Amino acid sequence: MPAIAKKPDPSPRKWRTEEIEALFALPFNDLIYRAQEVHRAHFDANAVQRSTLLSIKTGGCSEDCGYCSQSARHDTEVERESLLSLEEVVAAATAAREQGASRFCMGAAWRGPKQKDLEQVSAMVRAVKDLGMETCVTLGMLQQGQAEQLKAAGLDYYNHNLDTAPEFYAQVITSHCQEDRFDTLAKVRDAGINVCCGGIVGMGESRRVRAALVAELANMDPPPESVPINHLVAIPGTPLENAAALDPFEFVRTIACARIAMPRSMVRLSAGREQMSDELQALCFLAGANSIFYGDKLLTADNPEAGHDEKLFARLGLKAM
């Protein structure tokens, strides 16, 4: 019997900011119900993918991102460190795999990697792949040909967040523009690497800005395979250290809107989990989050301990993806 040709996925719809705002404005129960319907149509509702993020080069970044503890322009307690050795990275990845992580992400505080740095990172990617894990890196802005080098090393995902909507971007970052980020994302796509791209909420932005960010992400062609939704961790010494706290239900609404607008993407509950109660995290999973960062550190910020996450998964009946 001849094989039945699989129909290609329909082109993702284009979202207007006003449409995402209308989702945000739904009664909370109605929004969660709709997000659950979308989530269950594309994923196992009780499976969560777990990633571990390691800072392979900490501090001393030349950029002025207002949320970041690693900027050389901010007076934080983060010390500048050199690139970790291959042996240190392999040891950390091995430990992450033993704790249940399926993807290992490596972050470096650079505006962008120099060629000698990229060669070392490529060796790290190959070594982590040899452990049977998916690989992801976030290295800043890429130059011509660098994405292809990472692809040749076996890289699965490249993370480069939009951070916020275009109209709010200059209030957070002035050392580069959002178009620079799209330029790197285009290089990543052209090299055949999966895109990990999301944003940060709780930086003092309006609901409309949050809606515009979700629309901007959803309208990428194609949308990112992985969408990290970060809650600002207000770090002393950064320009955003005194940002007003975001209503927790507004954060859950952001997760739900991302799930509805990007039904086939992994929506990751990322930075800020250390400050979240178990109940708030459970609402985020209910809203469609199906990926987390797993481990005790998230670059320089604390993250819930792996043992605590195991207990939370057991209480909620969740399983690793």
Q: Which of 168-182, 286-300, 302-316 is least confident? A: 286-300
152 CB-near residues (< 8 Å, 6+ apart): 122
Q: What is the pLDDT of residues 62-90, one digit of tens each?
A: 676 767 766 555 556 656 677 899 999 99
Contact present, 103 and 136 (Cβ < 8 Å): yes
Q: What is the pLDDT of residue 170?
A: 85
Catalytic residue list: 61, 65, 68, 105, 136, 196, 268
The angle formed by the CA atoms of residues 264, 295 and 290, to the nearest 5 degrees, is: 15
Q: What is the pLDDT of residue 9?
A: 52
Query: Is residue 202 scored above 90 in pLDDT?
Result: yes
Q: How far is it, in rounded angstroms, from Cα 269 to Cα 267?
A: 7
- DSSP letters of 52-104? EEEEEE-S-BS---TT-TTBTTS--SPPP-PPPPHHHHHHHHHHHHHTT-SEE
Contact present, 39 and 288 (Cβ < 8 Å): yes
Q: What is the pLDDT of residues 302-314, one digit of tens each?
A: 555 768 888 999 9
Q: What is the pLDDT of residues 217-228, one digit of tens each?
A: 999 999 999 999
Q: Which two tokens stand for residue 41?
A: 């149509």
Domains, in order of start, for the chain: 28-314 (3.20.20.70)
Most confident of 104-108, 145-149, 274-278, 296-300: 145-149
Mean per-residue pLDDT of the chain: 87
pLDDT interval class at 179 (50, 70, 90)? confident
Q: Specify the pTM.
A: 0.87
Q: What is the pLDDT of residues 241-259, one digit of tens each?
A: 788 889 999 999 999 999 9
Q: What is the pLDDT of residue 299?
A: 47
Most distant CA atoms of the chain, gap in Å: 68
Average pLDDT rounded to a whole number, residues 187-210: 95
pLDDT interval class at 297 (50, 70, 90)? very low
Q: How far is it, in rounded angstroms, from Cα 77 to Cα 235?
A: 10
